[in-house]
Chains A and B, each alone.
Chain A
């Protein structure tokens, strides 16, 4: 199609190199050693993309003519004021971003990531809006008439961006505790959601026929609404999937804008991020044995769903242990496997947990950590917290790598995890978590279960058989306090 402005091959090449840098950034994450270099590749790629755009669109110096048209793709001359404005905008963003990045607590990473996704979504909406108002600047219109192909890309881009924005805001509010993690179920929500989605698609189709502003802005508003509607019925336990899914959406939004602007860096990045989020969502769903559709449909962990599986509320005998008992048992053990969960994150117990592990290692005990893929509120959440507490990453194992070891382990120390250890997932077909792969802590000689009280059950609202086993000892206390006491008792 001849409608694009003649692209300077060097410029196209620069964007391609930026895209390759982003691929290398993700590639680096295949191991912790190479990951830091990967992150630097990412920064270099972003630097190339930004500088290329600035050089081609904002001729610095503003001397008309001198090196004008050769550099300026669209021939629009912009004075120093514009360049200044842009640099100030970048500086403001950089200051906010760096401050947040430095201050944020590692336990709050899920909220932060959700908040960042919302910014990508909003930025996509704004860019699409700007492109709609001034299509000439983006080279997607002739005499004010936007090309049909660009209208589709723009309509889809603004819709995905808006969904990402409002969905991430809700996810943020739920993760940050501004909103209850309990699902909010509107009557007839499936019909409503499908109706809104159909309306958005119909409007995008109509947008190709008529470039009227009301269509564009109605698409935007409806997309904001659907993002909100899609996330409110999803419960706290499904947040890892939601965060991954929104990650994916932010990528598709960038890709859609890349199509509009014919920019390779944006398309490559969008595809990478989109597939990354999709794969993470898939991994999370598999780890919970849920289908993606059932997560999206929401309602999991709602109060009425809770009573269902295996939860006859009779008082059954269980054993309570003290910190001294726990210390004694672990000291005598040959191998201890620690199973951390969201409760550890909430109690900020990771540092003192590491201390406990150090003490045990001094006693000659082998200490390992077992991580379930959905432990915590986002993929890899527990690994980051343990890394923060200086736990060497080669002591931390994924479910499939360590599960067979529980049978040869003296003590399984479960701290702040529940559903991911529940044998009902294997035995009880009526249980809402049936089929979910679990950590077989019950096979260990002794299970120490650190939990705040007997009353609270996990997010799935299911009682855990492990509590009542003969070889289980319940350590009822705040996770951090309990581990501190164990550390004292180990001395």
Chain B
């Protein structure tokens, strides 16, 4: 892919991010941070490439270490988000207490 194609994806994704994030309800801002943290660990892709590559030992070990760190984030981030989201409940009784 050439640079312009990649840049286009990036810029459009920034716009998507802008609109999607504004639509997130403020009550869920903490889970939002936890889940964005989990997904930004997609950097594990780069770590896996380095860890799988032959040739350069140091590079490989840096990659493996990065795989560990990113995995902590991925599993920890999604799990803690799931734990938080499970706590958000509506009123049990459907009594409309509006006045």
Contacts and interface: CB of A to CB of B under 8 A. Distances in A.
A26 B42 contact: no
Interface in B11-59: 11, 13-14, 16-18, 20-56, 58-59
Interface in A22-39: 22-23, 25-27, 29-32, 35-36, 38-39
B76 A97 contact: yes
B50 A30 contact: no
B72 A251 contact: no
A416 interface: no
Given A35-B28, A253-B43, A275-B18, A116 B77 contact: yes
Contacts of B63: 126-127, 130
Contact of A57 (B39, B52, B69, B83): B52
Interface string A91-107: 11110111011101010
Given A97-B77, A97-B79, A123-B43, A106 B26 contact: no
Contact of A126 (B31, B62, B87, B91): B62
B40 A273 contact: yes
A483 B44 CA distance: 46
A450 B10 CA distance: 48
Contact of A247 (B22, B36, B65): B36
Nearest to B79: A101
Contacts of B53: 57, 74, 76, 134, 136-138
B60 to A, nearest CB: 8
Interface residues of A, number: 122
A101 B25 contact: no
Contact of A29 (B31, B55, B65, B99): B31
A97 B73 contact: yes
Given A25-B35, A261-B45, A387 B89 contact: yes
How large, as a class, is the contact surface on chain B?
A: 35 or more
A277 interface: yes
Contacts of A253: 40, 43
Given A57-B52, A76-B54, A138-B49, A32 B36 contact: no
A487 interface: no
A244 B33 contact: yes
Nearest to B4: A1
21 contacts: A86-B64, A86-B67, A90-B68, A93-B67, A93-B70, A93-B71, A98-B76, A101-B77, A101-B79, A113-B37, A116-B73, A124-B43, A131-B50, A133-B58, A263-B46, A271-B13, A271-B16, A380-B32, A383-B28, A392-B91, A393-B90
Interface of B: 1-3, 6, 9-11, 13-14, 16-18, 20-56, 58-60, 62-92, 97, 99
Interface of A: 1, 4, 7, 12, 15, 18-19, 22-23, 25-27, 29-32, 35-36, 38-39, 42-43, 45-46, 49-50, 53-54, 57-58, 74, 76-78, 82, 85-86, 89-94, 96-98, 100-102, 104, 106, 109, 112-113, 116-117, 119-120, 122-124, 126-127, 129-131, 133-134, 136-138, 149, 243-244, 247, 250-251, 253-255, 257-277, 279-280, 283, 366, 371, 373, 378-381, 383-384, 387-388, 390, 392-396, 398
Given A97-B72, A129-B59, 4 more contacts: A22-B39, A36-B85, A97-B77, A123-B70
